[in-house]
Structure 1
Amino acid sequence: MRRVEIVLSKEAFAPGERIDGKVVSICDRSFDCNRVTLSLRGEEMSRIVHGSGKSSHVHMEKKEHISEEMELLGPCEVPEGENACEFSLVLPEHLPASFAGTYSHIEYVMKANIEISRALDQGCKKMIFVQRTLPPLIPSENKGVIEQDGTPIVSVELEKDIVQPGQILPVRFMVSGDQKFRAVRMQIITRESVAPNGNHAQYDNALVEAYRRKEDINQETWNEIALEVPLHCIPPFKTDLIDFTYWLKATLDIAWQFDKVLFMPLRFSLEYREPDDSEGHMKPKFWS
């Protein structure tokens, strides 16, 4: 047998969607087959390591989301050439989306196996990408301040608190008083939080950053920064093991001192909703 492969109608699927495909075998000569099976397993895992070397300790938790197996073909003789076994299965409605992080992952793996008489079994596996659909959101304003000794020194405002892939997130800020600083930095970050067996870990990743030096900032007045959201972003989610969120991180960069930092929560959507008429009816609208 030269090759076994899983062929699907497409690469990405939503929870509750039907997966149609076939297991294809290509062989140089006929062979006796005991059976052909197909399995689909989905697993969520969080894992952190404390310490290093011999003193390291691994904390890990797992959760199974799906485990299915079906027989596609019983005992038979498979002729030479290309042969296919078709299959169809439906994903559960409430599956979390596929995810690959620093401390965690959610993976869906499909495996095909051909049991052969008097020979080693042949098979293959294929990763299944599960993606979620998100409801439209109504944008909200958001405001925050960086304080020093109880006095606001940097004010930050968001007209819309929603990040959308490929679009601009406008941010404005104002530095108050006679502050000694080098620059103001604005970042959109993602935060992956896990706690396997009660052991907490967090990883922040900056998706985009803008840096404005002091000489380019007008103090005591509003300054604007445009943050362009990357086109390929993972929607936020929360499961039993993983919490994945978006934040705006505003930093006052101070020389020879600890920086002053503000975190403001962000929401995520592919589209948003806003009032359409005086009666308050809503309609979906893409960001311009």
Structure 2
Amino acid sequence: MTQLSITTDREIYRPGEEIRGQVHVICDKLETCEALRLDYKGVIQSRVILGSGKHRRIYENVIPVIDNSETLLEAPEFQAGTNSFNFTLTIPRDAPGSYYGHNGWIQYSVSAVIEKKNWPDKTESTPIQIAWLASNPEMKSETIHWPYDKKEESPLELDIQDDVVTLGKDFTFKFRVQDQQKLREVRAYLVYKEQVAPDGIKEAYLDKLGSWRIPDSELTRNSWIDVRLNTSNDWPLPLMSELVWTQYVLRVEVDVPFRFDHVAEIPLKVFYPFETREQESETDTIFEWEKS
């Protein structure tokens, strides 16, 4: 019986760095094969599923970031016990970071493959996590009044004095509702919005991170009401890739009985005074400062 495993020198890498690791082949007796191969892959993927049953349709785009294979050993003999072999791989400098979303993913892996004649290849894979390199550009704050077009009729008005969200600090804005508008409540969210468009089919997933609400009974009509939304420096930064992109938006909903809600979505800029976290998992999206 032959077992495979892969170990690497670190859990998180930055674009441009080297991955140093070992392939371990564990045998209970002398084994031979045609080759020991190493596959190094990275993909950006987006997928939207519409319908169900026989009407189910899958729209998917995949772009390879890395697709390399190399032979570590030709016609090796593996001794009984643990046989370890070193490898070194280089991450492209322009590689996007790892991302694990709802309809989009950016994933990397290293696989060890034993090629044996007349037998299925034996394969063992391990994920490779790559950090996003984030710069800290100067954020120019802007004041936003919504609706943008003053001629547009809307029961809801928003006043945002600063459209920059500093993660870890409260975000504030004001709103007011017209006297005659019937409603149940007003809800406000800070939303991390993931967007994809495989084969031109657009889909957005809203992760509502910060929330606030006020019922109609506590609402003073036609008066400006202050709202304060909490944020956390554990929240992710917006990211941009060829198939999946994310942004923060302020989403305010007026819950109207027996009708569609009135909804306003305002894109926001984000400032992230972060430090690298010590605890990560394989499904975290990690951001680090870009070296100047």
Q: TM-score, normalised by structure 1?
A: 0.81
Pick the aligned partner of 2:159 from 156, 159, 165.
156
1:113 and 2:113 matched: yes
Following TM superposition, by how much is the alpha carbon of 1:82 offset from its aligned partner in structure 2, in angstroms? 1.6
Pick from 174, 188, 193 the counterpart of residue 186 of structure 1: 188
Q: Deviations over 1:223-276 (max 9, x none)?
A: 13122237253x32233322322211112233344322211112334329xxxx
Deviations 1:186-233 (A, max 9, x none): 111122222222232222232232212344455624413122237253
Aligned match of 1:97: 97
1: CA distance, partners of 2:161 / 2:12: 33
The structural deviation recorded for 1:57 is 3.2
Secondary structure (helix, strand or coil) at the match of 1:237 reads coil
| Offset at residue 161 of structure 1 (A) | 1.4
Please, which runs of 5 or more residues in structure 2 have no aligned partner?
275-292
Which residue of structure 2 aligns with residue 66 of structure 1? 66
Contact 2:233 2:272 in 1 (8 A): no
Contact 1:144 1:264 in 2 (8 A): no
| Percent identity between the two aligned chains | 25
3-state SS of the aligned residue for 2:228?
strand
Q: Say if 1:43 and 1:93 are closer, same or farther in 2 by CA, change over 3 A.
A: same
Counterpart of 2:273 in structure 1 is 271
Work out whether residues 253 and 264 of structure 2, in 8 Å CA contact, stay in contact via their aligned partners in 1. Answer: yes
Change (3 A) 1:263 1:215: same
CA shift, 1:180, in A, is 4.1
Q: Which runs of 5+ in 1 are unaligned?
A: 273-288
Q: Per-residue deviation at 1:60?
A: 2.3
Q: Is contact 2:210-2:229 (8 Å) kept?
A: no
Structural RMSD (CA) = 2.8
Distance 1:119 1:198, change over 3 A: closer
Instruction: Report the 3-state secondary structure (helix = DSSP H, G, I; strand = E; otherwise coil) of the residue aligned with 1:262.
Output: strand
Question: What corresponds to 1:225 in structure 2?
Answer: 228
Name the structure with the higher strand share.
1
Q: Does 1:22 align with 2:22?
A: yes
